[in-house]
Amino acid sequence: MILVTEWLASPGPELLAASGQAVRYEPTLWRDAPRLRELLPQAEALIVRNQTRVTASLLETAPRLRVVGRLGVGLDNIEVEALRARGIALVTASQANAIAVAEYVLAAMLHVARNLAAADASVRAGQWERTRLGGTELWGRTLGLVGVGEIGRRVARRAAAFGMTVLGYDPFVGPYDYAPTELGIAMLPLAEVLARADFVSIHVPLLPTTYHLFDAERLAQMRPQAVLINSARGGIVDEQALVEALSAGHLRYAVLDVTEQEPLPADSPLRASSAVLLTPHIAGLTAEAQERTSRLVVTEVLRLLAEGKTEAAP
């Protein structure tokens, strides 16, 4: 049986239905832990998004499980070592949403530069504030990328088309790798990237080494009146420190698609800040990205099951 515990975009359900495999698609199953543990003993494949916690304890209830499909790329809800120990394969939607996230970052920068929403609200209120609402340009500004992998490189290409200078920090990118040599990204130490960038966009995974990477000290290193964009994982930014940096006027604005706790708690100080734009983890959730993600993960899960063999999680 293939067990799907969260929402699966088309054509995933259709591909599963046509596969001849027994399928249980219950998109809200992740909310019902007892029901999930009841169904898992029959599952050969488990397909999840980011709410189902695939832990060593959960895997103990799934003796027949051979493959886990993750409808996305982040693995902070999956204990990869536990999969590896049991010889269970892991399928992810590698780069399927990279374009969507890159376009989100450009949209975030344009929102800050031109803020069409404020202009629209002003006109609707009977005003005509052309001078105040003219905004600024991205041309000639500097973008700093923290993490220069697939998404970071796609952001860089789009930023360059707007006439921006692109700086990058990534300890895994060498001086003659694709990013610096073909895209012209100037790879620098993190402190220098933060000190020079008008916009800083985060593109690293959430790991013990990146948790609260942007703490009070790091935020203080950012250029005054800079803008922080986080479409990676919420725990990378110390939210209280960010609110304080914004309140003090050191940073101009922040665009957060992810927060440390999701959904965002009602008492979060982020809600009260007018210098923060909040979106509900949608950067990679375009219709096109979801179609690619669904097709890629389901197709690969079905392939592994059909071959009768799996490889341990990477």
Query: Which residues have a catalytic role annotated?
Result: 233, 262, 281
- In the predicted model, what is the mean pLDDT of the chain? 96
Q: Do 62 and 113 share a domain, yes or no?
A: no
- Give the number of domains in the chain: 2
Q: Do 115 and 218 share a domain, yes or no?
A: yes
Q: Is the pLDDT at 143 greater than 50, yes or no?
A: yes
In a domain, residue 313? The reply is no
Q: Are 6 and 287 in contact (CB under 8 A)?
A: no
Q: What is the pLDDT of residues 195-225, one digit of tens each?
A: 999 999 999 999 999 999 999 999 999 999 9
Percent of the chain at pLDDT > 70 equals 98
Q: Do 214 and 293 share a domain, yes or no?
A: no
Burial (CB count within 10 angstroms: exposed 0-12, middle 13-18, buried 19+), residue 9: middle
Q: Do 271 and 137 share a domain, yes or no?
A: yes
Burial (CB count within 10 angstroms: exposed 0-12, middle 13-18, buried 19+), residue 201: buried
Query: pLDDT band at 76, cuts 50/70/90?
Result: confident
In a domain, residue 190? The reply is yes
CATH number, domain with residue 160: 3.40.50.720
Percent of the chain at pLDDT > 90 equals 96
What whole-number distance in Å separates Cα of residue 143 and Cα of residue 160?
A: 9
Q: Do 76 and 124 share a domain, yes or no?
A: no
Q: What is the pLDDT of residues 99-117, one digit of tens each?
A: 999 999 999 999 999 999 9
Q: Is the pLDDT at 146 greater than 70, yes or no?
A: yes
Q: Do 79 and 160 share a domain, yes or no?
A: no
Domain residues for the domain of 190 are: 98-278
In a domain, residue 314? The reply is no
Q: Do 23 and 164 share a domain, yes or no?
A: no
Q: Do 208 and 69 share a domain, yes or no?
A: no
**DSSP three-state, residue 237:** strand
Burial (CB count within 10 angstroms: exposed 0-12, middle 13-18, buried 19+), residue 249: exposed
What whole-number distance in Å separates Cα of residue 165 and Cα of residue 201?
A: 13
Q: Do 259 and 169 share a domain, yes or no?
A: yes
In a domain, residue 163? The reply is yes
CB atoms within 10 A of CB 198: 22
Q: Is the pLDDT at 259 greater than 60, yes or no?
A: yes
Q: Do 201 and 235 share a domain, yes or no?
A: yes
What whole-number distance in Å separates Cα of residue 57 and Cα of residue 147?
A: 32
In a domain, residue 283? The reply is no
Q: What is the pLDDT of residues 148-191, one digit of tens each?
A: 999 999 999 999 999 999 999 999 999 999 999 999 999 999 99
Distances (CA, A) of 166 to 73, 135, 199, 265: 25, 21, 10, 34
Q: Do 170 and 191 share a domain, yes or no?
A: yes
What whole-number distance in Å separates Cα of residue 100 and Cα of residue 96?
A: 9
Predicted model pTM: 0.92
Nearest to 97, CA basis, from 256, 292, 298:
292
For the residues 115-121, what does the mean pLDDT come to? 95
Q: Do 84 and 125 share a domain, yes or no?
A: no
